[in-house]
Amino acid sequence: MRLAGLLLAAVLVLPRPAAAQEIICCGLLVGFGGDWFGALRECRQKLEEAGAEKRRSVCQQLGGSTCEDVAPYCQPCRGDEAKKRDPGGNSLGPGDPVFDGLVDGARNAGYGGFGPHHMGAQARDGRIFFQIRMDADGCPLPNGSCIMQAVEDGSLPPGKQPGGKLMFLGSVQIAGSATRVNGRHVNVETGVIQDAAAATVEGNDRAAIAKAMADMLQKLGVRCRKARGPQF
């Protein structure tokens, strides 16, 4: 009886599962605040079941690393937010060959992780004008429509997104069989143009626009090799 009582007492004082158990997402171990022993591999399932705050915590711990399991939660923007917010406006988005060509060109120039949510583009007066928000180091930031939409739907916390220090402004002009892309870095605070370049190529399809964009950016020199994601 005495042995049985000691065993029962030992069982009662055994530690319960910690309140900070982990899950494995994108090959990384992240704290999830679970009630299990060890690390679970059901990343997608747990994120589907989790609330917005816990999803944001996982995305923050991943530090910009993304994979198929977390993309719906850690990449809250598709790049079509401007079109959705202003359906009758002149904004372009994924699926438009000029827009897609500009995104391809930025990637080809060396901006790792660059996506449609980093690009803003509008059709006006027969030309396409585009803009890319950048931080002080010249790293692309998610565009304003992406941030506003993600904050409004609860995917991102308000007040945490860095403001752009530079704007990369440019335009695409198609004349006959040739495409010309020009761009310039502009200091947001002073309005001073820091540098500018242009490139012209033959052709006017998505591939030609991508080449002109990449050539123009490479003339300027890519300041940052990694586009920034949203801050969770």
pLDDT digit of tens for each residue in the chain (232 aa)? 454 444 334 433 444 444 458 999 999 999 998 888 888 899 999 999 988 888 888 988 887 677 888 888 888 899 999 999 988 899 999 999 999 999 999 999 999 989 999 999 999 999 999 999 999 999 999 999 999 998 898 888 888 788 899 999 999 999 999 999 999 999 999 999 999 999 999 999 999 999 999 999 999 999 898 999 888 8
Residue 2 is predicted with a pLDDT of 55
Question: Top-level CATH class of 81-220?
Answer: alpha beta
Q: C-alpha distances in angstroms, 207 versus 102, 103, 118, 199, 218?
A: 9, 11, 19, 14, 16
The C-alpha atoms of residue 133 and residue 144 are separated, in whole angstroms, by: 8
* CA 126 to chain CA centroid, nearest Å: 29
Residue 64 is predicted with a pLDDT of 67
Q: What does the longest C-alpha to C-alpha distance in the chain come to? A: 96
Domain extent listing, the chain = 2-74, 81-220
What dihedral do alpha carbons 95, 200, 142, 68 form, nearest 10°? 50
DSSP H or E segment with residue 149: helix 144-152
Bridging pattern class, strands 28-34 and 178-187: unpaired
In terms of Cβ atoms closer than 10 Å to its own Cβ (0-12, 13-18, 19+), residue 58 is buried
With beta carbons less than 8 A apart as the criterion, state whether 183 and 170 touch: yes
Residue 1 is predicted with a pLDDT of 45
Three-class SS state of 119: coil
With beta carbons less than 8 A apart as the criterion, state whether 194 and 178 touch: no
DSSP H or E segment with residue 213: helix 206-220
